[in-house]
């Protein structure tokens, strides 16, 4: 047996070992997710007045439906839906007008203001909107989120605790733009969701996500307002850290929202996910470097040429664990983000993005190239063509 043969055999066994560890981890994460979501409590409608902040940009396939879900709430208090855009020709304005026409009795306000406060366009939008916020209980949520009628009645009880600084929400994916958007949604539902709950329940992560950040106005003022995060790419994460430094917690209730994915082409999915991956890498480089273990299927696949029989067992085993994850998520959310047969492709895409993210120094954010300058901060590089 030659040295090369021995080395190749060793590489194969290492890949099989990592695939086995990854499969065991994924099974544990799936169990943690199932247990966490089983703890959901009965929703309690509240009477506090709430401003829901919706920074908008461009046309999205189901934007009207997504926004309407925030209007149709089982909530006894007043609700202001505050939408913001930065250009007077933004197509989202038409959607807001349609929303106002559909719900004439609701308070739905629109702010059009192009003032820039830093490279982060969403934060600039929020800074411009805050002068029109009518209430002191604030709920920030990205435009591509959809919720159930009990959203506020599940969200706000946690915020009433004096030691709670903010409340954020888990989410699953929904593909609105064809096959590639469903593949992107599968990454959110069957990879990100169980990974996040596993890390959260074991004290390894303190998430704060753009799906929802509910907080009091006084808390927002105490962390410096939105303007403080105008040059930060992961603004939601940075807000969570700032709240924690006040000695307050960021709670995550056992509920799952819906994140609408709209990318219709592979290039768009690659671009967006590479931005997310590079953002996470910048926030937690050590933890991110080891995250490849959370997608064991590609590891098992790479071991196949070295050790065909054990490799085949590993491929089948990791696929079955992924199937269990999908069944648990689908049961708790009453929806399927993508068919099971697409999940191996989803895992291969995730592994490729993981590798590519180490070579990223700038990211595309809605037509603007942002340079990553360390510690999650960005500067504007140049305007790039929208596709």
Alpha helices in the chain (DSSP H): 3-37, 63-71, 92-102, 121-130, 151-159, 179-187, 193-201, 217-222, 235-245, 266-283, 285-289, 296-303, 308-333, 343-356
Using the predicted structure, report yes or no on whether residue 273 has a pLDDT greater than 60.
yes
Mean pLDDT of the 250-274 span: 94
How far is Cα 360 from Cα 281, in angstroms, rounded to an integer? 10
Q: What pTM was computed for the model?
A: 0.89
Name the residue with higher pLDDT: 120 or 216: 216
Using the predicted structure, report yes or no on whether residue 201 has a pLDDT greater than 80.
yes
Contact 92, 171 (CB under 8 A): no
Contact 12, 311 (CB under 8 A): yes
Inside any domain, residue 352: no
Question: What integer pLDDT is reported at residue 386 of this predicted model?
Answer: 37
- Crossing angle for the helix pair 308-333 and 296-303, to the nearest 10 degrees: 160
341 confidence band (pLDDT: 50, 70, 90):
very high
Inside any domain, residue 110: yes
Spatial CB neighbours of 67, under 8 Å, sequence gap ≥ 6: 54, 81, 83, 95, 96, 99, 143
Question: What integer pLDDT is reported at residue 206 of this predicted model?
Answer: 87
Contact 85, 129 (CB under 8 A): no
- In this structure, the chain runs to a length of 387
Q: Point out the least confidently predicted range of 222-236, 276-290, 355-369.
A: 355-369
Inside any domain, residue 131: yes
H/E element, 81: strand 79-85
| pLDDT tens digits, 92-149 | 999 999 999 999 999 999 999 999 998 888 999 999 999 999 999 999 999 999 999 9
How far is Cα 140 from Cα 27, in angstroms, rounded to an integer? 33
* Residue 103, φ and ψ in degrees, nearest 5: -125, 70
The CA R_g of the chain, rounded to the nearest whole Å, is: 22
Pairing between β-strand 256-261 and β-strand 145-146 as defined by DSSP bridges: antiparallel
Please report, for residues 177, 268, 296, 383, the alpha-carbon distance to residue 386 in angstroms, rounded to integers and kept in the order given.
Answer: 17, 10, 35, 9
Inside any domain, residue 151: yes
> Residue 224: which region, alpha, beta or left (left: phi > 0; alpha: psi -120 to 50)?
left
| pLDDT tens digits, 279-310 | 888 777 888 888 999 999 999 999 999 999 99
384 confidence band (pLDDT: 50, 70, 90):
very low
Please report, for residues 121, 201, 233, 325, 363, the alpha-carbon distance to residue 381 in angstroms, rounded to integers and kept in the order given.
Answer: 14, 38, 13, 40, 9
Contact 43, 154 (CB under 8 A): yes
Number of domains composing the chain = 1
Name the residue with higher pLDDT: 1 or 329: 329
Mean pLDDT of the 148-157 span: 95
Q: Which domain holds residue 270?
A: 50-274
Question: What integer pLDDT is reported at residue 368 of this predicted model?
Answer: 57
How far is Cα 279 from Cα 357, in angstroms, rounded to an integer? 9
Question: What integer pLDDT is reported at residue 382 of this predicted model?
Answer: 47
| pLDDT tens digits, 13-43 | 999 999 999 999 999 999 999 999 998 888 8
H/E element, 140: strand 137-140
Torsion of the alpha carbons at 95, 96, 100 and 102, rounded to the nearest 10:
30
Contact 301, 315 (CB under 8 A): yes
Name the residue with higher pLDDT: 348 or 368: 348
Inside any domain, residue 5: no
Question: What integer pLDDT is reported at residue 385 of this predicted model?
Answer: 37
Please state, for a pLDDT cut of 90, what percent of the chain lies above it.
78
Question: What integer pLDDT is reported at residue 8 of this predicted model?
Answer: 86
Sheet holding 145-146, edge to edge: 145-146, 256-261, 170-175
CATH of the domain at 95: 3.90.550.10
Inside any domain, residue 362: no
How far is Cα 112 from Cα 96, in angstroms, rounded to an integer? 12
Contact 291, 353 (CB under 8 A): no
Mean pLDDT of the 61-82 span: 96
Inside any domain, residue 228: yes
Question: What integer pLDDT is reported at residue 383 of this predicted model?
Answer: 41
Using the predicted structure, report yes or no on whether residue 271 has a pLDDT greater than 60.
yes
Inside any domain, residue 347: no
Contact 75, 44 (CB under 8 A): no
Name the residue with higher pLDDT: 285 or 224: 224
- Residue 77 gets which letter from DSSP? S
Pairing between β-strand 256-261 and β-strand 213-216 as defined by DSSP bridges: unpaired
């Amino acid at each position: 047996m030659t040295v090369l043969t021995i080395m190749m055999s060793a590489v194969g066994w290492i890949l099989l070992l990592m695939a086995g560890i990854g499969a065991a981890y994924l099974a544990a994460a799936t169990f943690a997710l199932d247990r966490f979501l089983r703890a959901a409590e009965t929703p309690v409608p509240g009477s506090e007045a709430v401003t829901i902040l919706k920074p908008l940009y461009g046309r999205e396939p189901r934007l009207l439906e997504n926004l309407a879900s925030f209007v149709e709430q089982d909530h006894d208090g007043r609700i202001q839906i505050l939408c913001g855009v930065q250009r007077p020709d933004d197509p989202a304005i038409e959607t807001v007008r349609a929303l106002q026409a559909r719900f004439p009795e609701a308070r739905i306000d629109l702010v059009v203001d192009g003032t820039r406060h830093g490279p982060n366009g969403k934060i600039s939008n929020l800074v411009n909107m805050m002068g029109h916020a009518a209430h002191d209980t604030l709920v920030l949520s990205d435009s591509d989120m959809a919720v159930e009628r009990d959203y506020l009645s599940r969200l706000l009880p946690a915020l009433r605790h004096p030691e709670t600084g903010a409340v954020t929400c888990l989410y699953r994916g929904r593909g609105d733009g064809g096959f590639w958007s469903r593949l992107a949604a599968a990454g959110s539902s069957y990879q990100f969701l169980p990974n996040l709950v596993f890390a959260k329940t074991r004290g390894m992560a303190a998430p704060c996500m753009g799906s929802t950040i509910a907080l009091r106005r006084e808390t927002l003022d105490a962390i410096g307002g939105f303007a403080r995060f105008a040059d930060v790419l992961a603004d939601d994460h940075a807000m969570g850290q700032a709240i924690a430094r006040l000695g307050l917690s960021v709670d995550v209730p056992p509920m799952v929202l819906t994140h609408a994915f709209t990318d219709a082409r592979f290039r768009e999915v690659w671009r967006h996910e590479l931005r997310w991956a590079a953002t996470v890498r910048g926030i937690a480089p050590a933890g991110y470097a080891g995250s490849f273990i959370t997608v064991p299927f590609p590891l098992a696949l790479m071991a196949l040429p070295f050790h065909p029989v054990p490799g085949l067992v590993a491929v089948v085993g990791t696929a079955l664990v992924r199937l269990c994850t999908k069944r648990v998520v689908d049961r708790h959310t009453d929806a399927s983000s993508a068919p099971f047969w697409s999940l191996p492709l989803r895992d291969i895409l995730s592994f490729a993005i993981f590798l590519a993210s180490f070579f990223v120094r700038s990211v595309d954010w809605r037509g603007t190239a942002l340079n990553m300058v360390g510690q999650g901060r960005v500067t504007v590089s140049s305007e790039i063509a929208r596709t």
